[in-house]
């Protein structure tokens, strides 16, 4: 038996990134969906990178809502931690009158078409936020716009999450979940709709930037079976290739359901925590169960995009 004391070397992260890039190793742990304070997460990209590496993530992507300003820092930090990295974004789309999120992975975050599309997608958020604050005021909760702004790092990216953090802090609700359940869910009394990007536009911006488009957390959308079938087929026809199967935004029992969708429609499968902050949710970075072994993981198409 070896009783030698552990040395710091034993705790150095393994550099899997080169092997993953060469297609020689499936990531032991991939997390391809999370948010920094450049959108509605609470941590800066370098802290997310450190946390992901600490928690054993081998392949990581930052996917801020409608924004890529955190990518350069994230990429640099991932490299310092010996973690393979994919540049990402989560684009807000309106399809059949409801919001769908499309994740782009393996993006060139300097692509002008992508940047212009994201800018356009962000542009309605401030007015919408003022509308949601007015609705909350009518429901007896004053000052929500200014309150939400206290939680915002990127003024173009004020989101419902920032309102939720404020309403909890102000004591109007006990949890962020309660804010969404009572006031801010998609049909809620303080919700204000916005026309986001079109599905085909979002996919084309991602493809223009050399990335792969992935339907985020399909289990969250309130469509009928026929509407889902049309969504998946329209997405595919537009050039979309992937779907999130194992995600922090699904209940674990939904993983098998969307694994079957991936098989039925021939989608690449993706996995991610959808982590927003240490106090916000159940699933931390790197904590999602691995994809079913027969699925084709999205990174198999993205080896040349991994840094
Ligand atoms: P927005 O882009 O302003 O419409 O805000 C959408 C964000 O709100 C999502 O990215 C989630 O972070 C958060 N969100 C939406 N629905 C819920 C929910 N039911 N519970 C917790 N967070 C939610
Ligand atoms: Mn979010
Ligand atoms: Mn989302
Ligand atoms: Mn997300």
Minimum CA distance residue for ligand 1 atom 6: 160
Model confidence at 280, pLDDT cuts 50, 70, 90, reads confident
CA of 2 to the centre of ligand 3 (A): 48
User: Using CA atoms, how far apart are residues 178 and 189, in angstroms rounded to an integer?
Assistant: 13
All domains in the chain, ordered by first residue: 8-122+195-305 (3.20.20.140), 125-184 (1.10.150.650)
Model confidence at 21, pLDDT cuts 50, 70, 90, reads low
Minimum CA distance residue for ligand 1 atom 3: 159
CA of 38 to the centre of ligand 1 (A): 15
Give me Rg for the CA atoms of the chain.
Answer: 19
Minimum CA distance residue for ligand 1 atom 14: 161
pLDDT cut 70: percent of the chain above it: 92
Q: What is the pLDDT of residues 118-164, one digit of tens each?
A: 999 999 999 999 999 999 999 999 999 999 999 999 999 999 999 99
Mean pLDDT within 163-191: 97
199 with 102: CB under 8 angstroms?
A: yes
Task: Report the pLDDT value the prediction gives residue 23, as an integer from 0 to 100.
Answer: 64
Q: How big is the chain, counted in residues?
A: 307
Mean pLDDT within 178-187: 97
User: Using CA atoms, how far apart are residues 290 and 299, in angstroms rounded to an integer?
Assistant: 13
Mean pLDDT is lowest, of 8-12, 162-166, 249-253, for: 8-12
Q: What is the pLDDT of residues 229-238, one digit of tens each?
A: 999 999 999 9
Of 153 and 7, the structure prediction assigns the larger pLDDT to 153
Statement: residue 285 has pLDDT above 60: yes
40 lines ligand 1 (CB under 6 A): yes
Minimum CA distance residue for ligand 1 atom 20: 177
Ligand 1 atom nearest residue 92's Cα:
2
**CA distances, 243 to each of 55, 75, 290 (Å):** 24, 23, 15
The DSSP bridge partners found for residue 270 are 244
Sheet holding 59-62, edge to edge: 30-31, 59-62, 84-95, 98-105, 212-215, 242-247, 268-272
276 lines ligand 1 (CB under 6 A): yes
Task: Report the pLDDT value the prediction gives residue 191, as an integer from 0 to 100.
Answer: 98
Model confidence at 18, pLDDT cuts 50, 70, 90, reads low
Statement: residue 7 has pLDDT above 50: no
Instruction: Give the predicted TM-score (pTM) of the model.
Output: 0.94
Give 11's DSSP letter.
G
Q: What is the pLDDT of residues 53-79, one digit of tens each?
A: 999 999 999 999 999 999 999 999 999
220 with 249: CB under 8 angstroms?
A: yes
Record the tokens describing residue 192, joined without a space: 């204000």
Residues, beta carbon < 5 Å, ion ligand 2:
40
197 with 94: CB under 8 angstroms?
A: yes
Contacts with 285 (C-beta within 8 Å, 6 or more apart), sequence order: 31, 34, 48, 51, 52, 55, 57, 60, 273, 275
CA of 22 to the centre of ligand 3 (A): 30
Statement: residue 5 has pLDDT above 60: no
Ligand 1 atom nearest residue 276's Cα:
12
Mean pLDDT is lowest, of 20-29, 31-40, 55-64, 297-306, for: 20-29
35 lines ligand 1 (CB under 6 A): no
């Amino acid at each position: 038996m070896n009783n030698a004391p552990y040395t710091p070397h034993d705790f150095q992260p393994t550099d899997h990134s080169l092997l993953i890039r060469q297609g020689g190793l499936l990531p032991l742990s991939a997390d391809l969906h999370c948010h920094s304070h450049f959108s509605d997460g609470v941590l800066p990209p370098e802290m997310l990178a450190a946390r992901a590496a600490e928690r054993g993530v081998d392949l990581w992507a930052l996917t801020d809502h409608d924004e890529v300003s955190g990518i350069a820092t994230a990429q640099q930090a991932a490299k310092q931690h010996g973690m393979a990295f994919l540049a990402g974004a989560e684009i807000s789309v309106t399809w059949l009158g409801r919001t769908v999120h499309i994740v782009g992975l393996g993006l060139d975050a300097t692509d002008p078409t992508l940047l212009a599309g994201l800018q356009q997608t962000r542009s309605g958020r401030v007015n919408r936020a003022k509308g949601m604050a007015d609705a909350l005021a009518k429901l007896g909760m004053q000052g929500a716009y200014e309150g939400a702004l206290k939680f915002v790092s990127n003024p173009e990216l004020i989101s419902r999450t920032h309102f939720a953090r404020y309403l909890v802090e102000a004591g109007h609700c006990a949890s962020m979940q309660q804010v969404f359940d009572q006031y801010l869910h998609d049909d809620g009394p303080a919700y204000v709709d916005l026309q986001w990007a079109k599905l085909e536009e979002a996919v084309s911006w991602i493809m223009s930037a050399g990335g792969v488009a992935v339907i985020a957390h399909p289990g969250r959308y309130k469509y009928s079976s026929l509407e889902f079938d049309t969504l998946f087929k329209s997405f595919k026809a537009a050039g979309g290739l992937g779907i999130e199967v194992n995600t922090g935004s699904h209940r674990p029992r939904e993983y098998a359901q969307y694994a079957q969708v991936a098989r039925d429609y021939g989608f690449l499968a993706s996995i991610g925590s959808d982590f927003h902050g240490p106090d916000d949710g159940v699933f931390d970075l790197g904590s999602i169960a691995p994809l079913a072994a027969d699925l084709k993981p999205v990174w198999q198409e993205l080896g040349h995009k991994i840094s």
